[in-house]
């Protein structure tokens, strides 16, 4: 028998990375929040790769932290090794990545949610969602408890209508052997949400004790541990090695001869798979002439012998997986602990969302994470944070929280999703941002901490530390501009050895730092007035100086973009009534309902000529 359990201001469905950040942000902003999960033991589960960060994803984690989110701090506490990727390239693409102890990460995240004021963490399956009386959302659990809320955030991950594939075996299920959210999927379809099917997958896990490490290349973390968080909380300094090995012709032959058994190619799987993280069978189809594919063997935790086989994701039958895995050097005698599988799930077309991640046609309903068509823990957490803040602001009657694409990767991610949409699971990459030299991982705090403070999610103590850092950067800029190094035999010898021209007269330290061959470290013996500051201060100043010209050009582009963002468009605008717009543009504009000219200009199918028509129309007066 149904009974009314409780009313909250905000309810979050799902306690993965999106649900965690959404729930914490909303509760910390003073709202009463409930976070529902199918299983309390898997809060914050790293269902696939036991790592956080990586190319562009590390940028997202640091941005979440700068705004006041939680992922970076818990990752820092539970790292098994850390690395800064792409150091052979420019600073725009340097990205931190950490192997994570997946069990302790879950435990810590659950504990944080349990102790959060204003937040109830509840194990229950939501089976129905609809608008009830007084414009409140009404939610029903499997045990017939009724909850209501002013706002609901859907952060269902891959559980919504989840279906597992291993060869011919197909079963209803979520990741890691959990059950799916099928009734909720039906409820959302009944509501009229634009639901579609996506697919992802995961590889087998093997026992570390059964591996021949001598046949694989050990990969250690960086000598100096790297932290995600700018808060300087405790950092795990462990260095548990990963291992690198490769597939070969025998691997390819086994997979190729069994390709007809793959549900991906037999037609069983309907959903669209991720483009940038293909299964091993998909790799051999796409790159038919290539035998060798890299495999990373990664630890899952300190108190488990389970190892993750990154690069060998597969949905082939269990016996075929065992055969091809054992052709890989170092894995010949491996004992498989978990079989790889593909998972198909329901998600929404993100074009149905506004930049706040609220649905255009369902007031008070928000989406976040893989439900919005993205892939990855970091993308999910970023969206969860934004959805949580906006739901709280809606409840409190505050202004919408929208990050633009020129100020953050989070803004780029959300703008891409709600403006351009996605035809396959969206993955963040540095190449997606036209402003990546400005949006570096190292300066995420300089870009966003003041925003987190204004939101109320960065406390006074941390803000004071941040302001001190800014002051140190400013003063160091002034020092290198005013410090002149005189030519000397020793200094010129260094310059020649670094393949740059010697000095004929005194030169400012800032001018020397502009030279690509030189850096702070090389000039240390000649820089007698250098203050005792954290290394990150010198790093920021050196990047500012070396890339000053490029940064100025990007800032000019950003100013132009923001000029267009300040030209608002009504979401209710009748584009069919604006003469001069092409038919495709009218259809796309009506579907996306852009908030301003800048967003309209990024819609696929809207040409510069169409934007000119809109600008001319704006000159005649407000567009309503």
Span 272-307, pLDDT tens digits: 777 777 889 889 888 888 889 999 999 999 999 999
Contact in structure between 264 and 241 (CB atoms under 8 Å):
no
Tokens matching residue 88: 């052979």
186 and 46, same domain (yes or no): yes
Percentage of the chain beyond pLDDT 70 is: 99
Say whether both 43 and 159 belong to one domain: yes
pLDDT tens profile 2-30: 999 999 999 999 999 999 999 999 999 99
Question: What CATH number has the domain bearing residue 236?
Answer: 2.40.30.260
Of 344, 378, 408, the last residue of a domain is 344
Q: 474 in a domain, yes or no?
A: yes
**486: domain range?**
460-552
Tell me: do 292 and 353 sit in the same domain: no
Does the pLDDT value for residue 169 go beyond 90?
Answer: yes
Confidence band, pLDDT 50/70/90 cuts, at residue 624: low
pLDDT, residue 623, reads 53
What CATH number is associated with residue 70?
3.50.50.60
Look at residue 396 and tell me if it is in a domain.
yes
Considering the domain architecture, whether residues 522 and 597 belong to the same structural domain is answered as: no
Instruction: Report yes or no on 180 lying in a domain.
Output: yes
Mean pLDDT of 513-533: 94
Neighbours of 333 (CB within 10 A): 10
- Quickly state the pLDDT bin for 126 (edges 50, 70, 90): very high
Q: Is the pLDDT of residue 338 over 90?
A: yes
* 352: Cα within 13 Å, side-chain hemisphere: 19
Section 36-44 average pLDDT: 96
CA atoms within 13 A on the CB side of 160: 29
In the chain, count H helices and then E strands.
21, 23
Position 275 in a domain: yes
Residues 371 and 436 in one domain: yes
| H or E segment and range at residue 291 | none
Contact at 8 Å (CB) between 69 and 24?
Answer: yes
In a domain, 47, yes or no: yes
Q: pLDDT grade, residue 349 (50/70/90)?
A: very high
Tokens 């059964």 belong to which residue? 210
Q: Are residues 153 and 190 in the same domain?
A: yes
What is the number of other CB atoms lying within 10 angstroms of the CB of residue 222? 13
Let me know whether 430 and 519 are in one domain.
Answer: no
pLDDT, position 585: 92
**94 and 105 share one domain:** yes
Q: Is residue 64 packed enough to be buried (19+ CB in 10 Å), middle (13-18) or exposed (0-12)? A: buried
Give a yes or no: residue 612 inside a domain.
yes
Nearest-angstrom CA–CA distance, 520 and 524:
6
Q: Is 350 helix (H, G, I), strand (E, B) or coil?
A: helix
Counted domains in the chain? 4
Closest C-alpha to 374, from 26, 60, 132, 31: 60
Degrees to nearest 5, angle at CA 517 with 481 and 490 = 75
Neighbour order of strands in the sheet with 217-219: 217-219, 242-246, 294-299, 306-310, 205-207, 336-338
Mean pLDDT of the 344-355 span? 97
Average pLDDT over residues 451-457: 98
For 498, which DSSP code?
T
pLDDT single digits (tens) 79-123: 999 999 999 999 999 999 999 999 999 999 999 999 999 999 999
Position 379 scores a pLDDT of 98
Q: Does any domain span residue 470?
A: yes
95/373 Cα distance (integer angstroms)? 23
Identify the domain boundary among 494, 526, 552: 552
Task: Residue 208: count other Cβ atoms within 10 Å of its Cβ.
Answer: 18
Taking the C-alpha atoms of residue 11 and residue 151, their distance in angstroms, rounded to an integer, is 6
pLDDT of residue 60: 98
Greater pLDDT, 618 or 422: 422
What does the chain come to in residues?
624
**CB–CB of 35/19 below 8 Å?**
yes
* The pLDDT value given to residue 183: 97
278 in a structural domain = yes
Q: What pLDDT does residue 571 have?
A: 85
For residue 311, the SS3 value is coil
Phi (first) and psi of residue 478, to 5 degrees: -65, -40
User: Do 501 and 542 touch, CB atoms closer than 8 A?
Assistant: no
**Which of 130-139, 293-302, 361-370 bottoms out in mean pLDDT, i.e. has the lowest?**
130-139
Output the domain CATH number for residue 540: 1.10.10.1800
Looking at the fold, whether 355 and 340 belong to one and the same domain comes out as no
Of all helices (H) and strands (E), which one includes residue 540? helix 535-546
End position of a domain, from candidates 415, 436, 453: 453
| 481 and 546, same domain (yes or no) | yes
Q: Are strands 365-367 and 272-273 parallel, antiparallel or unpaired?
A: unpaired
Neighbouring CB atoms inside 10 A of 191's CB total 16
The CATH number given to whatever domain includes residue 591 is 1.10.150.570
1 band by pLDDT with thresholds 50, 70 and 90: confident
Same domain, 182 and 258: no
Encoding tokens for residue 38? 């199918």
Answer yes or no: do 151 and 224 share one domain: no
Confidence of residue 621 (pLDDT cuts 50, 70, 90): low
**SS3 for 335?**
coil
The 3-state DSSP composition of the chain as helix, strand, coil percent (nearest 5) reads: 40, 20, 40
Confidence of residue 195 (pLDDT cuts 50, 70, 90): very high
pLDDT, residue 577, reads 87
Whose tokens are 């086994």? That residue is 254
Please say if the pLDDT value at position 403 is more than 60: yes
Q: Is the predicted pLDDT of residue 146 greater than 90, yes or no? A: yes
Residue 133 binned pLDDT confidence (cut-offs 50, 70, 90)? confident
């Amino acid at each position: 028998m149904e009974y009314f359990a409780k009313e909250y201001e905000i309810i979050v469905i799902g306690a993965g990375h999106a649900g965690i950040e959404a729930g914490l942000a909303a509760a910390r902003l003073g709202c009463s929040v409930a976070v529902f999960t199918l299983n309390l033991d898997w809060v914050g589960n790293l269902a696939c790769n036991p790592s956080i960060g990586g190319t562009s994803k590390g940028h997202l984690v640091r941005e979440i932290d700068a705004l006041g989110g939680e992922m970076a701090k818990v990752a820092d506490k539970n790292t098994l090794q850390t690395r800064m990727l792409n150091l052979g390239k420019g600073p725009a693409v340097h990205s931190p990545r950490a192997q994570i102890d997946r069990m302790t990460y879950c435990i810590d995240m659950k504990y944080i949610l349990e102790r959060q004021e204003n937040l109830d963490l509840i194990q229950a399956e939501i089976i129905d969602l609809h608008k009830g009386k007084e414009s409140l959302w009404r939610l029903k659990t499997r045990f017939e408890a009724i909850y209501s809320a002013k706002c609901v955030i859907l952060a269902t991950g891959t559980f919504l209508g989840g279906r597992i594939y291993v060869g011919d075996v197909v079963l209803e299920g979520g990741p890691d052997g959990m059950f799916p959210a099928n009734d909720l999927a039906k409820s959302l379809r009944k509501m009229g949400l634009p639901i579609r099917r996506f697919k992802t997958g995961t590889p087998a896990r093997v026992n570390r004790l059964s591996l021949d490490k001598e046949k694989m290349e050990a990969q250690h973390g960086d000598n100096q541990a790297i932290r995600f968080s700018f808060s300087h909380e405790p950092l795990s300094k462990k260095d548990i090695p990963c291992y690198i090995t490769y597939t070969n012709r025998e691997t390819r032959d086994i997979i190729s001869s069994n390709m007809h058994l793959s549900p991906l190619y037999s037609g069983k799987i309907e959903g669209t798979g991720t483009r940038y993280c293909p299964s091993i069978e998909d790799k051999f189809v796409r790159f038919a002439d290539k035998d060798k594919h890299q495999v990373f063997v990664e630890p899952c935790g300190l108190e488990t012998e389970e190892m993750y086989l990154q690069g060998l994701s597969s949905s082939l039958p269990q016996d075929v997986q065992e055969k091809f895995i054992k052709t890989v050097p170092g894995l010949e005698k491996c004992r498989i602990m978990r079989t790889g599988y593909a998972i198909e799930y329901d998600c929404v077309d993100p074009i149905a969302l506004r930049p706040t991640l609220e649905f255009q046609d369902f007031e008070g309903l928000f989406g976040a994470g893989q439900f919005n068509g993205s892939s990855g823990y970091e993308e999910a957490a970023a969206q969860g944070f934004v959805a949580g803040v906006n739901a709280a602001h809606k409840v409190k009657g505050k202004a919408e929280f929208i990050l633009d694409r020129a100020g953050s990767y989070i803004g780029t991610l959300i703008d891409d999703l709600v403006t351009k949409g996605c035809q396959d699971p969206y993955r963040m990459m540095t190449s997606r941002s036209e402003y990546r030299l400005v949006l570096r991982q190292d300066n995420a705090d300089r870009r966003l901490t003041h925003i987190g403070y204004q939101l109320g999610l960065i406390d006074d103590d941390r803000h004071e530390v941040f302001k001190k850092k800014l002051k140190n950067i400013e003063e160091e800029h002034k020092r290198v501009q005013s410090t002149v190094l005189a030519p000397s035999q020793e200094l010129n010898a260094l310059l020649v050895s670094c393949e740059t021209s010697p000095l004929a007269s005194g030169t400012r330290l800032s001018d020397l730092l502009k030279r690509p061959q030189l850096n702070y470290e090389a000039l240390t013996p000649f820089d007698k007035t250098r203050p005792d500051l954290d290394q990150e201060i010198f790093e920021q100043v050196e990047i500012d100086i070396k890339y000053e010209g490029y940064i100025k050009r990007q800032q000019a582009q950003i100013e132009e973009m923001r000029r267009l963002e300040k030209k608002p468009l009504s979401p209710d605008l009748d584009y069919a009534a604006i003469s001069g717009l092409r038919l495709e543009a009218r259809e796309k504009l009506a579907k996306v309902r852009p908030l301003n000219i800048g967003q309209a200009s990024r819609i696929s199918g809207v040409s510069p000529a169409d934007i000119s028509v809109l600008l001319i129309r704006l000159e005649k007066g407000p567009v309503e």
